[in-house]
Chain A
Amino acid sequence: KNEVEQSPQNLTAQEGEFITINCSYSVGISALHWLQQHPGGGIVSLFMLSSGKKKHGRLIATINIQEKHSSLHITASHPRDSAVYICAVEASGSRLTFGEGTQLTVNP
């Protein structure tokens, strides 16, 4: 069993839909990160969470430390949101452990 598990692996949505990507982890962490990887490969850090909820534009990230679970929500999805979304946890030191990623495709 992976230390970080994401669901779903693939997600196709219509433009405007509300999207949720889930992440569960099995280790104690100091922070959880949500990353976005575009088709060209570059990775952008979206959120770093250690508790509660953060919002940036149409993106919302929540974390429940007791349940070892985090969600990434995208409101009013748009085709430009199409990317791979990766959950990563930071445990000891500054190493990241990555989930397998969720491939999101938003159709116009």
Chain B
Amino acid sequence: GAVVSQHPSWVICKSGTSVKIECRSLDFQATTMFWYRQFPKQSLMLMATSNEGSKATYEQGVEKDKFLINHASLTLSTLTVTSAHPEDSSFYICSATTQGGAGNYGYTFGSGTRLTVV
């Protein structure tokens, strides 16, 4: 089945530094990649949607200059948290879609990245 590899699975960084998270679709081409953020005991919150070769579409309230998304190929998307602060500490997870039948999309999720900013 479809697999999305997300790295790193966890990262601790100092305040003010940048962190890059990668998501790779291993055995399929991801038409669209979604990036989510999840706080403890809460549901997933969509941050941005990216299509290969075009600029990401950010959700309201998500700073595009802080959360840089690059979707340079159909198998790789990256999220860079720039100038990280403790309030950016969270669980970040990606999901990739390929178009299925009848206009519905199959989703495959990465394993997530737990970011702690100290």
Contacts and interface: CB of A to CB of B under 8 A. Distances in A.
Interface residues of A, number: 21
Interface string A64-96: 000000000000000000000010001000111
A47 to B, nearest CB: 11
Contact of A40 (B49, B105, B110, B111): B111
B114 interface: yes
Interface string B78-105: 0000000000000101010100101111
Contact of A45 (B34, B102, B109): B109
Interface of B: 32, 34, 38, 42-44, 46, 49, 91, 93, 95, 97, 100, 102-112, 114
Interface of A: 30-31, 33, 35, 40-45, 48, 50, 86, 90, 94-96, 98-101
14 contacts: A41-B93, A42-B109, A42-B110, A42-B111, A42-B112, A43-B109, A45-B108, A48-B100, A48-B104, A48-B107, A94-B97, A96-B95, A96-B107, A101-B43
